[in-house]
């Protein structure tokens, strides 16, 4: 008895639903529609996982500082991390549970599009075609330019979706380079393309649909996270010292501008020159002008 047999009832139910869709539309479209319905039902879990991921990303720099500060002292490090998460009302495992809950659903959908029989009956979903290629066909069994073109287009679309995930994972790795697996995580986004080459066309179509949904869903849930937080702008501006400008009030007490001494009327002193008494010398005698006779 296989461990995957526990999913047999769910696989039978999914087969019935997709088969019902296939009566009104092509089987390939029914697979896409069913995948979207399941991902839509799992969207609340994805939102919870996104909140947890944002929390871990926000605290990543402080966690790195604590790791550096308490290097070689694991007990103090654990205590400091526990205090940090308690203050921030967060958890290092936030978002992990929703992701784990989604795994059985994905397992059911994957096996639905790979099993040759369901409940002892031939899986007729794999007998339908996409652009003339049976949905149960593997890449190794393809023949003719037409079938290879269908697989090539599907893999190109998977690569495009993988590139979106690669860019997002690379940005996350640059923001938190100390995270485990940060160096190789971006390249894992292209693993779906390699995996799709080993499964039937129906399963590859499912991988493309769920991958595209994931990319769009993450873009929606993580929108604006790359921009600077505008809420901190006033505090940052207030923390900066205001420039000292002579003759203008800037809100910070600065040295008062010294008045420029102006020469008295009839004086021969140059404007701006210090008085003789301040220079330490004797005051200069002014020539008396003789009145005109």
Domain boundaries, the chain: 3-116+124-223
Contact 201, 135 (CB under 8 A): yes
**pLDDT (mean) for 120-146:** 85
Nearest-angstrom CA–CA distance, 54 and 68 = 22
Q: Which residues neighbour 233 within 8 Å (Cβ) at sequence distance 6 or greater?
A: none
Which of the pair, 55 or 261, is modelled with greater confidence?
A: 55
CA-CA distance, 27 to 16, in Å (whole number)?
12
- Does the pTM surpass 0.75? The reply is no
Q: What is the pLDDT of residues 224-264, one digit of tens each?
A: 654 333 333 333 333 334 444 444 444 444 444 455 555 55
Quick count: other Cβ atoms within 10 Å of Cβ 290? 6
Query: Cα 194 to chain center, whole Å?
Result: 24
Using the predicted structure, report yes or no on whether residue 38 has a pLDDT greater than 70.
yes
Q: For residues 43 and 41, what is the distance between their CA atoms, to the nearest angstrom?
A: 6
pLDDT above 90 covers a percentage of the chain that reads 7
Q: Average pLDDT for residues 125-131, to the nearest whole number? A: 85
Q: What is the pLDDT of residue 149?
A: 92
pLDDT band at 137 (very low <50, low <70, confident <90, very high): confident
The rounded mean pLDDT for the chain is: 73
Cα distance between residue 157 and residue 236, in whole Å:
44
Q: Does residue 55 contact residue 99 with C-beta atoms inside 8 Å?
A: no
């Amino acid at each position: 008895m296989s461990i995957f047999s526990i999913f047999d009832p769910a696989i039978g139910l999914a087969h019935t639903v997709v088969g019902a869709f296939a009566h009104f539309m092509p089987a390939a479209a029914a697979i896409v529609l069913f995948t979207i319905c399941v991902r839509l039902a799992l969207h609340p879990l994805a939102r919870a996982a996104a909140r947890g991921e944002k929390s871990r990303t926000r605290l990543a720099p402080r966690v790195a500082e604590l790791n550096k500060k308490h290097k070689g002292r694991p007990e103090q490090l654990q205590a400091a991390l526990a205090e940090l998460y308690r203050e921030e009302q967060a958890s290092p495992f936030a978002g992990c549970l929703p992701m784990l809950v989604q795994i059985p659903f994905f397992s059911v959908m994957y096996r639905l599009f790979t099993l040759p029989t369901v409940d002892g009956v031939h899986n007729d979903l794999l007998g339908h075609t996409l652009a003339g290629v049976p949905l149960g066909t593997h890449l190794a069994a393809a023949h003719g330019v037409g079938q290879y073109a269908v697989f090539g287009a599907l893999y190109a679309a998977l690569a495009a979706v993988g590139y979106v995930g690669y860019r997002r994972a690379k940005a996350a790795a640059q923001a938190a380079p100390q995270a485990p697996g940060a160096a190789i995580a971006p390249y894992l986004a292209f693993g779906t393309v390699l995996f799709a080459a080993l499964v039937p066309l129906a399963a590859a179509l499912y991988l493309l649909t769920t991958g595209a949904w994931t990319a769009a869903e993450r873009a929606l849930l993580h929108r604006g996270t790359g921009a600077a937080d505008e809420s901190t702008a006033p505090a940052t501006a207030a923390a900066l010292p205001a420039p000292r400008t002579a003759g203008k009030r800037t809100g910070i007490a600065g040295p008062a501008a010294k008045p420029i001494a102006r020469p008295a009327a009839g004086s021969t002193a140059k404007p701006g020159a210090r008085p003789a008494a301040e220079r330490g010398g004797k005051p200069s005698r002014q020539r008396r002008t003789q009145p005109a006779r």
